[in-house]
Structure 1
Amino acid sequence: MDIRPEPFEPPAPIPRTVPPSRLEIIRVMFRNPLELWGQPSYTLPYLQVKFFGQLTTIANHPGLIKHVLVDNASNYAMQPIRQLVLRPILRDGLLTAEGDVWKRSRKAMAPVFTPRHSRGFASQMFRKSEEFAERYIEPAKRGDEVNIATGMTELTYEILAETLFSGEIATGTDGFADRVDSLLHNMGRIDPFDLLRAPAWVPRMTRIPGRKALRAFRGIVAETMDARKAAIQRNAAVPDDFLTLLLRLEGPDGLTRDEIEDNILTFIGAGHETTARALAWTLYCVAESPHFRSLMEDEIDRVIADGADPVDWLDAMPHVRAAFEEALRLYPPAPSINRAPLEDDEWTDENGRTIQLPKGESVLVMPWTLHRHTLLWDRPRHFIPERFLPGNRETIGRFQYLPFGAGPRICIGATFALQEAVIALAVLMKRFRFDVTENTRPWPVQRLTTQPLNGIAMSVSAR
């Protein structure tokens, strides 16, 4: 008899019932913005509030979201506070560039991330996942505890280095996860001066500790570029990869050296980070959902035994994909999408109510609240991967689920990330089982991504 347990409710802040004071807002935004939002943000289709003197529209209505991100996207720029946080790190990388700079970069990179091209990376993703899995053999024999968040950061970095840079990034993996954590912990958070809209030239004291990590990343990028560029100039054989593509675009009609550096930094420092976090959350949630984990393991065993090529696993393993997509729902790597109207705008809902979206004010599309919204999801705080199985997945509205954003600025690597995640999960779960321990107490915090505070401790054992 198949008795399914009640679905697991993973940890997350409880919606506030009392508005925070101005001082508390500053403290919470610096500590963890996910803890700021109140019940209206999870229950109303949209609301407008004054936030540090600025009108802020919180958009949870799929129609309003479509209007802002797609239908009238040309009228919306990046919200200034977001840029104050991210531009010091990424400058004119794809996540932060705007206008012609963004258009040139996006057009240049698009061919690498088409679904057809991404499928070509499957064998490399599989090989690097297999190599990484070897590191868990000895810990599994002893039943050791590992920090799965750190492990997934290392794995996705190695996959990215191999697929996009042919393994020629000028650094090893030793200590890489720690450098990423240092960078994002110190640089990827809102400073009180950001909320007060102080000019960008005013020093943000809270970010000073992250400068060393940022300099290290910049050094890695410069060294990587110089080594490949030297090979190109002496007509040596070089891989036809992402790095070569960008370097060949340098020039008056393409990208500047600074823009190339910013985009390489964006992918090295952040391009793998989103998938890493979602993989760690997935392994944690399925460990607390043994019934669904068994379905995943059976599916993985069957597909691999049938000899399916890893390039086909994304379609052949719907349970694995569903678990990952549900983890993306509960812990969206990009928990907020921040925009500001360039000109006055308005939108009318299905009841004829029109809301004004004034020039220069703030519009927040927040996957964090959208994915947990009571009007859009059944038991929104629970881990229920069945939502994303074939037959159910099709009923989810396009603009109620935004792990990769939407519109012109939709994540360029969405297909790449989904394929990478399914391959990595299948390889790891074929050989190992990850379980929670008394030290498994993850808590989601918003930095550049939705990270588990202090990682996720889990035991690893051979299946």
Structure 2
Amino acid sequence: MDIAPSPFIPPAPKPRTSPPSTLEMIRIVYRNPLELWGEPSYNEPWISVNGVGGPLVIANDPGLIRHVLVDNAKNYKMATVRQKILRPILRDGLLTAEGDVWKRSRKAMAPVFTPRHIFGFAGPMLKRTEEFVTRYEEAPGTVDVAHDMTLLTYDILAETLFSGEIAGEPGSFAREIDRLFETMGRVDPLDLLRAPDWMPRLTRIRGRKTMAYFRKIVTDTVSMRTERLARDPGNVPEDFLTLLLRAEGPNGLTRAEIEDNIITFIGAGHETTARALGWAVYCLAEAPWERDKVEAEIDAVLAREPDPTKWLDAMPLTRAAFDEALRLYPPAPSINREPIEPETYKDLYIPKRAAVLVMPWVVHRHRKLWDQPDAFMPERFHPGNREKIDRFQYLPFGAGPRVCIGASFAMQEAIIALAVMLSRFRFDTVAETKPWPVQKLTTQPQGGLPMRVTRR
């Protein structure tokens, strides 16, 4: 009789058994916030304490999460600390804008992310991935999968949303993205203490050169398309970039808002999918019994179904493996809100200006919500099981009015990328593969993901 293998337990910080001192907490938050959370965070429905910067509520209960993100979302704005980190990078992009600016941006982008448009992106996604993986034919051996996924998702983003017309060179783009998140993507201790804005933040000073690099890419990209629209308006692709520029005007977006949204998508937008793909490939390599199932499914579907728009629905095991990687390593590990007015949920009092943290990293590993929460078990998301998961205990794309507008785009992109890569190549860990999850806006593998690639 076959004995089922023990589930793979991917690397993650162990929950703290005692609270850190204030100084230690500031140091941990700067270095890696994922290492901050203690046993109560993974066991209690919510925690309410007085933190360094004021009242702090950690929301783990799906009912409370729904209340904050959906039912009473109008009483919650983006948290001050989160805005201090992200706004210097994204300014009035969709992730950081609020009020009328956010509404205008969301309305302008909505047509790009309809099912019809997303299905239309499947062909270019497939083409770019097939071109990308030829590098593994030419140079088999050890590669950094984390770095490669950044390049691949950049290629896909450039082709689909910008019709291949992004200024700048992909290799330098990937390097600068890493540098940006290493500097400006970290929590600055002064932000945690809610220090006045006039006090200089070292993280932001270190990131100025990189930020200028991205701003130049955006300005040059917009200039290229604007000139093309003026020169030959009837022969311009109706992509994300064109739709944004057509939304410019007195009742639409300003030029600055357009540029902010472009930098949001070429920075944060592609980065999240890249990280999720890297972690998925890594987890499958460490759980070959799961990889065998995924490879068999991909081979069967590709043999009978050439249309990539059908793959997401036709590959439930592949999707389940990706969903499980998203659970263990949510690209956006923290959702931060702040109540405009004080309120009470059940017996929890939430004071005005409290930092309310909904942390997918913690919720996805909560002892009361998941069986064997630290294990890589894609069967949680197999058909018949995934329907039992509460909508508000699994939040890789957030929830409510500010749910990720590109969620369907990202899922289609990920399944196409995995199908192409895993149908042709096998990725295995090597002695140097020792990733450690670190929160720098996204959940990144410190040390990269060096892996051996061989032809299947």
TM-score (normalised: structure 2): 0.98
1:392 aligns with 2:365: no
Task: Tell me the residue number matched to 2:72.
Answer: 72
AA matched with 1:407: G
AA matched with 2:40: P
- SS of 1:97 mapped into structure 2: coil
Q: Is the 8 A contact 1:79 1:338 kept in 2?
A: yes
1:248-287 to 2 correspondences below 5 Å: 248-287=246-285
Q: Is the 8 A contact 1:4 1:291 kept in 2?
A: no
1:418 aligns with 2:411: yes
AA matched with 2:16: R
* Aligned equivalents of 1:168, 1:355: Cα separation in 2: 51
Deviation of 1:2 (Å): 4.4
* Aligned equivalents of 2:198, 2:320: Cα separation in 1: 45
1:113 aligns with 2:110: no
Deviation of 1:172 (Å): 2.3
- SS of 2:426 mapped into structure 1: strand
Q: Which runs of 4+ in 1 moved over 4 A?
A: none
Aligned residue among 182, 186, 189 for 1:189: 186
* Aligned equivalents of 2:320, 2:180: Cα separation in 1: 31
Task: Tell me the residue number matched to 1:338.
Answer: 336
- SS of 2:151 mapped into structure 1: helix
AA matched with 1:332: P
Q: Is the 8 A contact 1:113 1:413 kept in 2?
A: yes
1:123-202 to 2 correspondences below 5 Å: 123-140=123-140, 144-202=141-199
AA matched with 1:419: Q
AA matched with 1:316: A
- SS of 1:218 mapped into structure 2: helix
1:316 aligns with 2:314: yes
Q: Is the 8 A contact 1:67 1:73 kept in 2?
A: yes
* Aligned equivalents of 2:70, 2:383: Cα separation in 1: 26
- SS of 2:237 mapped into structure 1: coil
* Aligned equivalents of 1:208, 1:462: Cα separation in 2: 45
Task: Tell me the residue number matched to 2:288.
Answer: 290
Task: Tell me the residue number matched to 1:377.
Answer: 370
* Aligned equivalents of 2:318, 2:67: Cα separation in 1: 33
Which stretch of the first structure deviates more once superposed, 324-333 or 117-126?
117-126
Q: Is the 8 A contact 2:150 2:275 kept in 1?
A: yes
TM-score (normalised: structure 1): 0.97
Deviation of 1:40 (Å): 0.3
AA matched with 2:157: L
Task: Tell me the residue number matched to 2:202.
Answer: 205
Deviation of 1:3 (Å): 3.6
1:367 aligns with 2:360: yes
Supply the RMSD in Å over aligned alpha carbons: 0.9
Aligned length: 455
Q: Is the 8 A contact 1:275 1:417 kept in 2?
A: yes
Deviation of 1:48 (Å): 0.5
Task: Tell me the residue number matched to 2:16.
Answer: 16
Q: Which runs of 5+ in 1 are unaligned?
A: 349-353
Deviation of 1:53 (Å): 4.6
The one-character-per-residue Cα deviations of 1:101-139 (angstroms, maximum 9, x if unpaired) are 001101110111122321111111100000001011123
* Aligned equivalents of 1:309, 1:329: Cα separation in 2: 28
Q: Is the 8 A contact 1:182 1:213 kept in 2?
A: yes
Q: Is the 8 A contact 2:53 2:193 kept in 1?
A: no
* Identity within the alignment, %: 65
Aligned residue among 220, 224, 247 for 2:245: 247
- SS of 1:451 mapped into structure 2: strand
Aligned residue among 437, 442, 448 for 1:449: 442
* Aligned equivalents of 2:299, 2:4: Cα separation in 1: 22
Q: Which runs of 5+ in 2 are unaligned?
A: none
Task: Tell me the residue number matched to 1:235.
Answer: 232
Deviation of 1:234 (Å): 2.2
